[in-house]
Amino acid sequence: MIYQYTGKTMKYCSICGNPVEQRIPEGDNRHRYVCVSCETIHYQNPNIVAGTVTVWEGQILLCRRAIEPRYGYWTLPAGFMENEETTMEAAARETREEALAEVDIQGLYSMIDVPHINQVHLFYRAQLLDGRFGAGEESLETQLFHPSRIPWSEISFPTVRKTLELFLSDMKTQQFGVHVTDIRHPMAKNN
Amino acid sequence: MIYQYTGKTMKYCSICGNPVEQRIPEGDNRHRYVCVSCETIHYQNPNIVAGTVTVWEGQILLCRRAIEPRYGYWTLPAGFMENEETTMEAAARETREEALAEVDIQGLYSMIDVPHINQVHLFYRAQLLDGRFGAGEESLETQLFHPSRIPWSEISFPTVRKTLELFLSDMKTQQFGVHVTDIRHPMAKNN
């Protein structure tokens, strides 16, 4: 799944339960949540979303989302990387969970920074192992799409759209490099 | 900086201050810390460390660490990616902070998963803009090293060593691809 955190503000120390305050710790240059009692510094850092561009007989595997946000829209199988796994394992796991598909991962394909939501999206190229797939709990349906039939008007997220655009272009030459780019908030001043 | 989190156990909800319990939320398949009062799910996810392999006139920029862990050992400039920045911005910022160097980033070089500490390390290839560098607050000294003089016995972290090994090999042909690999805990059963 790709979802967004609630963005609730930290008020209490998760270690000792006392209030936190925002201040710049010694030797640091940024405001952090710091416990007024046990002095634990609670860092907040970006999250990784990992997924696959999975191909079978020249067609691309997409899932139609059964959850918000973007219920009913099509996505590449992808979701938050978990602790104790690699990015590649995360990408394969998400493909298994959302598309009920076992894949052979072939290489990193895209890394897209999305700084306004504190995420980095990674997509690996993959092939279905045996052609089998289905709809996982978070998918209404899963389908293979010929490049000329991608449902562009119903794509869930900008990073999925960007990765599909790059991939379709590379399919013509069968030269798949690693694409590193970013997607900024449409209202960001520097874009 | 590259450091490790304390690994303290979450006991209280950072939103409302009430106790958390470990359970599998509805629709999930993993144990999470969930607040017994406000029901907030506190996800824990891997962190990104970003840095550079910075070159100037065929030599590589290394910093000698002025902080624990690995005080006194040599590292590539790198540290935890912050919210609201891209991986590339993080890599350039860490190089500025630790090596007082402005760099021109040339491309992603290595992505190394380190699942036993829940980190993903990213190194970008870079060049010094004007040859200037120095020792930032977290560095005892910063130095350019000829490939034949890398202080191999005093390298700080496995991902730094691996990235340097790959880079020195690629320098011979001047063909720099993107290297994706992982480093597992030496005691891990599957390695």
Q: Which of B6, B8, B11, B14 to mutate against chain A (most A CBs within 10 Å)? A: B14
DSSP string, A37-94: TT--EE----EEEEEEEEEETTEEEEEEESSSSSTT-EE-SEEEPPTTS-HHHHHHHH
Q: Maximum Cα–Cα distance for chain B, whole Å? A: 60
CB of B120 within 8 Å of a chain A CB? The answer is yes
- Does the pLDDT of residue A124 top 50, yes or no? yes
- Give the amino acid at B48: I
ipTM: 0.93
Reading chain B (191 residues) residue by residue, the pLDDT tens digits are 444 444 568 999 999 999 999 999 988 889 999 999 999 999 999 999 999 999 999 999 999 999 999 999 999 999 999 999 999 999 999 999 999 999 999 999 999 999 999 999 999 999 999 999 999 999 999 999 999 999 999 999 999 999 999 999 999 999 999 999 999 987 665 43
Residue B9: per-residue pLDDT? 85
Domains and CATH numbers, chain B: 8-44 (2.20.70.10), 47-182 (3.90.79.10)
Q: CB count, 10 Å around CB of B32? A: 17
Is B113–A83 a contact, with Cβ atoms under 8 angstroms apart? no
Average confidence (pLDDT) over A91-101: 98
Q: Are A4 and A80 in contact (CB under 8 A)?
A: no
Q: What pTM was computed for the model?
A: 0.94
Alpha helices in chain B (DSSP H): 87-99, 158-173
Residues paired with residue B74 on neighbouring β-strands, in sequence order? B64, B155
How would you classify the pairing of strands A47-56 and A119-128?
parallel
User: A85: pLDDT confidence band, cut at 50, 70 and 90?
Assistant: very high
Do A111 and B107 count as a contact with CB atoms less than 8 A apart?
no
| CA separation, residue B154 to residues A118, B160, B161 (Å) | 34, 11, 10
